Amino acid sequence: MQFLIGAGKSPIKCFKKDVGMMGYGMSGNTVDDLSKELSVRSFWMEDGQGGRFVYSCAEICFITPAVRREVMSKIRNEIISDFDESCLMLSAQHTHSGPGGYSEYALYNFTIPGFRRDVFTGIVDGIFNSIQAAYKSRAAGSLELIEHSIDAATGIAWNRSIEAYNSNPENEPISDREAHLAIDNRMRMLRINRQNGPCDQINWFGVHATCIGKLNHSISFDNKGFAAAHFENMNGGIGVFAQGLAGDVSPYYHGPEDVKKRKGINGENEHVYAETNGIKQADEAMKALSIEPSFELKGPIETELVYCDFSNIQVSEEFSHGLPNAKTGGACHGVSFFNGTRIDGRGLSNVLNAIAHFMCILVKLAHRIAMPFKSPKRRKEWKEKYRVQGKKRILMDATEHRIFGTKNLKGLIIPGFADPTISEIKREYNNIAFSDHPWVPHILPIQIVVIGKLALVGCPGEPTITAGKRIEGTMLSILKKKGVDQVVVCPYSNAYMGYITTFEEYQLQTYEGGHTVYGQWTLGAFQTKFKELACEMLNEKRSRNLDRKIQPIAFSRAELERRTYD
C-alpha cells in the first residue's frame, strides 16, 4: 500500500542563560552555553482513505500538556482546521541536558526556577515548524517494520535496579554482574521509504539519555541526539532515535564497583561518552536497515486518544493480582525519588536520606494518632492515601501541596538559605503561585495508533522494562483481533507523570518506585485504561463509546505569572 509521507526537521531555539535544566532536579544544574543545538524530527503520514498520523520526537526531557495544547492549536490554525488530536503523537527522547521551565505544573518549576515562557515558546515553535515541514514535503512512500536484537555485550545499556527487576516472577534472575542482560535489547524500527530520497526511520530502543550528568552546564542532546546526528550523516535520511522501555535502564555500567568505574567519566568526558554511546546506537540502526523487514504496513491508519484522571482509577482485578478495590490516588513522591540513582544522578546524601525516612515515619505515626480526632472525611482520605501508596515513605504530597506533612511551606523546617529549591518553594508559596492545582498532572492522555499490523501505544510516563512489556502484552491480546502483530510502547509521549513500575518492583521502593506517583497499582491502572481503549478500537469509529468529558487542566495566565521570571 502506498502512503503519503512527509518528513521535517527543525531546531529548537530555547537557549536562555542560567535557566535550570530539566531532568536531574538539581538547582545548580543550569544553562551556561550551547554544546549541541536541540532539534525536533517529525513525520506526517496519510493512508489515502482519510486516516492520518503525525509523529514528532523532540530533543527535550519530556512533553507537557501545555506544549501539546499549543502545538495542536497551531496545526489547526495554520495547517488543517479540523485536525483530530488523536492523530498527533508528541514524544521526547529524554535528554537531561535541555532547559526546563516549559511545564505549567509547579513541581517541574521549582529547580528552574519558575515558568519560562520564552523556553516554552521555543519548544512549541520548533515542534510545529518540523510538523509543518513534514506536511509540505509529503510524497508517495511505504512503511516497513524491522525487528533487530542488539547484542547485550555491545555495551550500550545496563539495568540500574536489578533487585527490583528480579522481583518480577516472569524474569529470570540476573546477578548485578550481568546488568547488561536485564534490558530490552529489541530495537523496533519503522523504515520509511519515500520517493526520490534516502530512507528515513524511527526506532524505539530503551536507554536513558543521561550520559551527561548533573554538574553539566551545556545544552546537549546527549546519546540519543548523537545517534540521530551520526545516522543522518551516514545515511542521508532523517533518523529518529526514540525511547523504548527505558525506565530502569542506564547508559552506564551498573554492577560491582560501578561508582568507581563511573568516576573516570565526568566533565568533558561525559560529552565524549554520550557521543560514543550514540554512535553505537546509530551503528545498530544501520545494521537494522540492512535486514529483511518483519512485514510491510498496509494500512489503514486508525488513531484514538482519551484523557483519564489517574488520581482515581479503579483497577481491574485482572491487573491487581486479584486484589479487590485496587485503585490509584493523588500523586505522592517517596524519599527514594529524592535519593536519585547511584550513577545517573544521586540526590540526598546518606545522612539526609536517614533523616528524611525518620521524618516520614513520624508524620505517618502522627496521622495515625490524630485520626480519631479528625472528621470522618479526613480519616477516610488519610487511610486511603496510605493504603494506595503502600510501602512508600511519602516525603511530598504533590496533590495537597505538603512536604513532610506540612502545608504551611513558609514554616518548613528546612530554611531557604540551606537550599535554593527550598527557597524557591517558599517564594512561590508566599506568592500564592501554586494554590489552584496539583504540582504534577493527574489528567493524562493515553493513545493508540494502529497502522496495519503495527500498534503504537502513546504512554505519558517512564515504564520499566517489565512494566512496559506487560502493557504491550495486554495490548497485543486485544488488538490481535484487529490484525495487529506487533505492539510498541512509546514512552514520554503527549505528557509526563513520572515512572510506571510493576506492583512487585514498587514494593522495593527504589528510585523508580518512589517516582511511581499514583501508588502501587499505577501499572494496573494503565493496563485497565489501555485495555478499555483497545477494546473500543475493535468497533467501528462511529460506534466507539469513549468518555470525552475529561480534559486536561487549563492554567490561568495569572497563576503562571506568579511563578514566572523574565
3-state DSSP of 463-528:
ECHHHHHHHHHHHHHHHHHHCCCEEEEECCECCCCCEECCHHHHHHCCHHHHCCCCCCCHHHHHHH
Report, in angstroms and rounded to the nearest whole number, the Rg of the chain calculated over CA atoms: 22
Return the C-alpha cell found at 56. Answer: 514528532
The pLDDT, as a whole number, for residue 565 is 74
Domain extent for 46: 3-305
Does the residue 405 lie in any domain? no
**Whether 189 contacts 169, CB under 8 Å:** no
- The count of domains in the chain is 1
**Whether 534 contacts 316, CB under 8 Å:** no
Does the residue 55 lie in any domain? yes
3-class secondary structure, 47: coil
pLDDT in tens, the chain (566 residues): 589 999 999 999 988 899 999 999 999 999 999 999 999 999 999 999 999 999 999 999 999 999 999 999 999 999 999 999 999 999 999 999 999 999 999 999 999 999 999 999 999 999 999 999 999 999 999 999 999 999 988 999 999 999 999 999 999 999 999 999 999 999 999 999 998 778 999 999 999 999 999 999 999 999 999 999 999 999 999 999 999 999 999 999 998 988 888 888 888 899 999 999 999 999 999 999 999 999 999 989 999 999 999 999 999 999 998 889 999 999 999 999 998 888 887 777 788 888 888 989 999 999 999 998 899 999 999 999 999 999 999 999 999 999 999 999 988 887 877 788 888 999 899 988 888 899 999 999 999 999 999 999 999 999 999 999 999 999 999 999 999 999 999 999 999 999 999 999 999 999 999 999 999 999 999 999 999 999 999 999 889 999 999 999 989 888 888 888 76
Does the residue 204 lie in any domain? yes
Does the residue 272 lie in any domain? yes
**DSSP type of residue 442:** -
Does the residue 454 lie in any domain? no
Does the residue 354 lie in any domain? no
Using a 10 angstrom Cβ sphere, with 0-12 exposed, 13-18 middle and 19 or more buried, the burial of residue 424 is buried
CA angle 154, 159, 164 (to 5 degrees): 155
pTM of the shown model: 0.96
CA 359 to chain centre: 30
The pLDDT, as a whole number, for residue 46 is 97
**Whether 462 contacts 499, CB under 8 Å:** yes
The pLDDT, as a whole number, for residue 1 is 58
CA distances from 115 to 107, 216, 467 (A): 11, 21, 32
The pLDDT, as a whole number, for residue 118 is 94
Using a 10 angstrom Cβ sphere, with 0-12 exposed, 13-18 middle and 19 or more buried, the burial of residue 373 is exposed
Does the residue 74 lie in any domain? yes
Straight-line distance from the first to the last Cα atom of the chain, in angstroms, rounded to the nearest whole number: 51
The pLDDT, as a whole number, for residue 566 is 60
Query: Would strands 139-149 and 239-243 be described as parallel, antiparallel, or unpaired?
Result: unpaired
Return the C-alpha cell found at 450. Answer: 494502529
Q: How far apart are CA 108 and CA 426, in angstroms?
A: 15
The pLDDT, as a whole number, for residue 500 is 98
Contacts of 360 (CB under 8 A, 6+ apart): 335, 393, 394, 395, 404
Does the residue 206 lie in any domain? yes
Q: How far apart are CA 212 and CA 210, in angstroms?
A: 5
Q: 3-state DSSP: the chain helix, strand, coil percent, rounded to 5?
A: 35, 25, 40
